[in-house]
Amino acid sequence: MDERSLADGVVVLTRPRAGDIDAIVAHCQDPAIAEWVTIPVPYGRADAEFYLADIVAAGWAERSPVWAVRRAADGPMIGSIGLHDSGFGAAEIGFWLAPGERGSGLMSRAVGLVCAFGFEELELARIGWLAYVGNRASAAVVRRNGFRFEGTQRLGAVQRGVRRDCWLGGRLVTDAPGPAAGWPSDT
């Protein structure tokens, strides 16, 4: 797949690069990222190098693109977002954002850009979302982008060898991109 940058005038998504390694390592020290994202703990330079070489490079070689979230094309990496190809016209979205950037609306904008890319360029029929129960910030981001709540899967995901309950959501190509109704109040 050809590499593609995405932007909307506020947020810029580009392929993560070697110059981002220090920022990736620094951001992945944040306890909230470690709590909600499946990353090694502790997270070191070798983990960031693996991420770039094996996750990012392999993703772009196939149909699982990964972007760095930035405020400008030449700005520092402040987050990550990607689509993991699930086959048969489906993908799962995943993302994280640096602590000082949360609450700014950047990730909601990034999710909107990635969903548009997935539906238009990759011709996806469905983009799924999975988050560990309690990750209300992630739920708020996808809810604002038209994802519908699909349930709670008991012990449905594994994080560092421990099974955890997870919330599931999804957006179909036919779903409107704006805020979705029907989410439980505890999400």
Say what the pLDDT of residue 164 is: 96
What pLDDT, in 10s, does the model give residues 126-168? 999 999 999 999 999 999 999 999 999 999 999 999 999 999 9
Residue 170 included in any domain: no
Give the three-state DSSP class for 136. Answer: helix
pTM above 0.85? Answer: yes
Say what the pLDDT of residue 114 is: 98
What pLDDT, in 10s, does the model give residues 69-82? 999 999 999 999 99
Q: Are 21 and 48 in contact (CB under 8 A)?
A: yes
Number of folded domains in the chain? 1
Mean pLDDT across 28-50: 95
Residue 144 included in any domain: no
Say what the pLDDT of residue 1 is: 85
Pairing label, strands 79-87, 126-132:
unpaired
Q: Are 156 and 183 in contact (CB under 8 A)?
A: no
User: Closest by alpha carbon to 89, among 172, 156, 16?
Assistant: 172
pLDDT at 105 over 90: yes
Residue 149 included in any domain: no
> What's the domain range around 31?
6-129
Residue 154 included in any domain: no
Residue 70 included in any domain: yes
Residue 162 included in any domain: no
pLDDT band with cut points at 50, 70 and 90 for residue 45: very high
Residue 185 included in any domain: no
Residue 33 included in any domain: yes
Residue 57's CATH number: 3.40.630.30
Distances (CA, A) of 172 to 127, 169, 181: 6, 10, 15
CB atoms within 10 A of CB 103: 11
